[in-house]
Amino acid sequence: MKTTTRFNQNSPLARSSRRAGADVAADVPRRGSRRSISDEDRRLVNLIIETEPDFIDDEQLHLANAEQVIFDDAPEIRRPNASWYHPVMDDLGKKDRMPKRSEQVILSGAEERVIFLQFNFARFMISEIRERVLARADRRPTMTQARELLKWHRVEEDLREQIAETNLALVLAMAKRTRMSEVDFADLVSEGNMALLRAIEKFDCGRGFKFSTYACRAILKAFSRQGMKLSKYRQRFPTDFDPKLERSDFLEKKRAEVVHDTADEVKQIVVENRAELSDIERTVIEHRFRIESPMTEVKPLTLEQVGQIIGVTKERVRQIQNKALEKIRINLEETYLTPTKADEEDTDAPRRHFPPIGLN
C-alpha cells in the first residue's frame, strides 16, 4: 500500500513520527545514509513480529489513500485531561471524586468512528508490514520496515491511551453502581480498567453503536466475574474470611485472668474463714458456689437444694447467702481498700484500688 508523508501536525501519527525521529537521532550516529535504532527498539520490533496482530476490519482500511482519508482529512479529536483520576488514592466513600465539566470529553458517534478507525488502521498497518517481514527468507525486517513498525506501534499505543482516558469515568460510574461490599473498591476499579482496555481492542465502530454502550456492559460483566471468583475462593478457604480470626482476644483473656484471680482470693477468704462466717453460712457458700470443688466436676446447688440440706426454706437460704457475701465484701474492702499507715503519711501516694470482687 502506498502511504503519504503529509499529515496533520497534531494528529497521533504526527506526534508518533516526531517522537520516533527524536529517539533515532539520539541513539547512534549516522551510518552512511541510514541511522540505526536502539537496542530497546530492536527488542520491541522483535516482540511486535512475534505477536499475532489483531484488528477490527473495515472497508476504509483497504482504500488506496486510506492513510490520508483516515488521518489527514479527519477532524482533530479532543484529548481529555485525566489528572483527576486517582480512585485508589482518594477515599471515594467520603469524597465523590468525579471529573468536572471542564475535564470531561464526551465524543460524538462520528468522533468515535474517526478515532477507532485510526486505531484499527495502525494495527492493520502493523499486520501488513509483519506479513511482508515473515515472507522474507531470513524473516528479519529491513531498517525501513523496522521504523514503520515502530511508528505504527506508537500510533496504536497513543490512540489506545487517548480512548481509555476519555472513558475512565465509565469505570468509576459502574463501580459505584455495583453493590459488592465484599470486594475491595481498588480491586473493583482495577478489574474495570482491564475490562475497558479489552473493550477498546474488540469494539467495532462499523456497527453504529456508541462505545460507552459496549464498554459499560463489558465492565459490568467483569465485575460479575470478579464477584463469582471471590465467592468460589471463600468457599474453598472460609477461614481466611472468618471475622472471629480477625479480632484480638486480648480483652477477653485479660478479663478472664481478673475473674480467676478474684475468685481465688474469695475462695481463700472462705477457706481460712477470715470473714468470720458461721457454720451455716460457710455451708451455704460451699454448696452454692462449690468453693472446695472444681466447677467443672460438680455443679453448684440451687437455693431449694441447699435448703433441703440444712432444713430451711429457699428464701431463708437466700438471706443467709446475702449476709455471708456481705461479710466477705467487707473483708475485701478492709484488706485492699483501706489505706495503710505508709499511705496516710505520704499524701501524694496513689490509693490502691482493686476491681469489685464477688462470686458468680
Q: What is the pLDDT of residue 9?
A: 54
Average pLDDT over residues 45-55: 90
Confidence of residue 201 (pLDDT cuts 50, 70, 90): very high
pTM of the model: 0.56
Cα(231)–Cα(225) distance, rounded to whole angstroms?
10
Domains in the chain, CATH or no CATH each:
1-166 (no CATH), 172-247 (1.20.120.1810), 253-345 (1.10.10.10)
Average pLDDT over residues 187-216: 90
CB of 49 closer than 8 Å to CB of 152: no
Residues 6+ apart with CB under 8 A from 188: 175, 178, 180, 223, 226
Confidence label for 269 from pLDDT (cuts 50, 70 and 90): confident
Interval 130-156: pLDDT, tens: 999 999 988 899 999 999 999 999 999
Structure confidence by residue, pLDDT tens digits, 67-93: 888 888 888 888 888 777 776 554 444
Average pLDDT over residues 227-236: 79
359 band by pLDDT with thresholds 50, 70 and 90: very low
Burial class (CB in 10 A: 0-12, 13-18, 19+), 161: middle
Average pLDDT of the chain, as a whole number:
78
Q: What is the pLDDT of residue 211?
A: 92
Mean pLDDT within 237-257:
71
Cell numbers for 31, please give them: 551510518
